[in-house]
Chain A
Amino acid sequence: KAGVTQTPRYLIKTRGQQVTLSCSPISGHRSVSWYQQTPGQGLQFLFEYFSETQRNKGNFPGRFSGRQFSNSRSEMNVSTLELGDSALYLCASSLAGAGFSPLHFGNGTRLTVT
């Protein structure tokens, strides 16, 4: 079975721009969660989608948004980028949702904002 695929692997953007990250979950998994990882803050939960509905949300500003499609693929969008948004963005899929079945992570998208 193919694992979780995140694209692109690396992104360099300028302050004020917007960015869209993509995640394809493991086949059959209906839940996709997104995390931001930075050296100082560790893993910060952004949101979780299950069957196209947002199930949980972390404490991030409205500039961070996401969606999930009917094939369970998910996208995350960050608008009006700030320098502090530079991070590794990780996507994880699970069968029954985070908290109910294990998360399986992709290799992440490394976003650098200049």
Chain B
Amino acid sequence: GEDVEQSLFLSVREGDSSVINCTYTDSSSTYLYWYKQEPGAGLQLLTYIFSNMDMKQDQRLTVLLNKKDKHLSLRIADTQTGDSAIYFCALNAGNNRKLIWGLGTSLAVNP
């Protein structure tokens, strides 16, 4: 069935760039999303990309999509301590267009 995989943890130094990766199996996905979850809160939509795009930039965020390798990444430039959170990738898949979610990557930003 459809699957989305993410590494569980990432640790970076403040000011460095962070790259969070996601691989998926369903090649028919049309929307691919990145969400951020801070402790005790719901999920916040960060950005999303359509499957006919390779890249999308939004201020400090850059999303790259490699459809051939079924690989999605989120780059956060100049990472700040406020970026510490769990980041989820999700994509629509299957005939019923359900959203399939990764387990989330916990980003720790060290001063």
Binding site for B on A (CB under 8 A): 4, 6, 33, 42-43, 45, 56, 90, 92, 97-100, 102-108
Q: Does B99 contact A (CB under 8 A)?
A: yes
Query: Can you sample 25 A-B contacts with CB below 8 Å?
Result: A4-B42, A33-B99, A42-B101, A42-B103, A45-B99, A45-B101, A56-B98, A90-B42, A90-B43, A97-B97, A98-B97, A98-B99, A99-B31, A99-B92, A99-B96, A99-B97, A100-B92, A102-B31, A103-B33, A103-B45, A103-B99, A105-B42, A106-B42, A107-B42, A108-B41
Distance from A73 Cβ to chain B, minimum over Cβ atoms (Å): 17
Name A105's contact: one of B43, B92, B102 (CB within 8 Å): B43
Bound complex: CA A3 to CA B48 (Å)? 19
Kindly provide the distance from the CB of A64 to the nearest chain B CB, expressed in whole angstroms. 17
Q: Which residues of B contact A97 (CB under 8 A)?
A: 97
Q: Write out the residue numbers on chain A whose beta carbons fall within 8 Å of the beta carbon of B48.
A: 102
**What is the CB-to-nearest-CB distance from A31 to chain B, in angstroms, rounded to a whole number?**
11
Interface string of B75-111 (1 = CB under 8 A from A): 0000000000000100010001111011110000000
Query: Closest CB-CB distance, B20 to chain A, in whole Å?
Result: 15
Interface of B is mostly: strand
Residue numbers in A under 8 Å from B104 (CB-CB): 42-43
* Contacts known (A98-B92, A100-B92); A105 close to B44, Cβ less than 8 A: yes
Q: Are B98 and A107 in contact (CB under 8 A)?
A: no
Q: Cα distance A98–B45 when bound, in Å?
A: 13
- Tell which of B42, B45, B88, B98 has the most Cβ of chain A within 10 Å: B42
Are the CB atoms of B101 and A98 closer together than 8 Å?
A: no
Q: Assuming A105-B42, A107-B42, A108-B42, is B101 touching A99 (CB within 8 A)?
A: no
B12-59 residues at the A interface, CB under 8 angstroms: 31, 33, 35, 40-45, 48
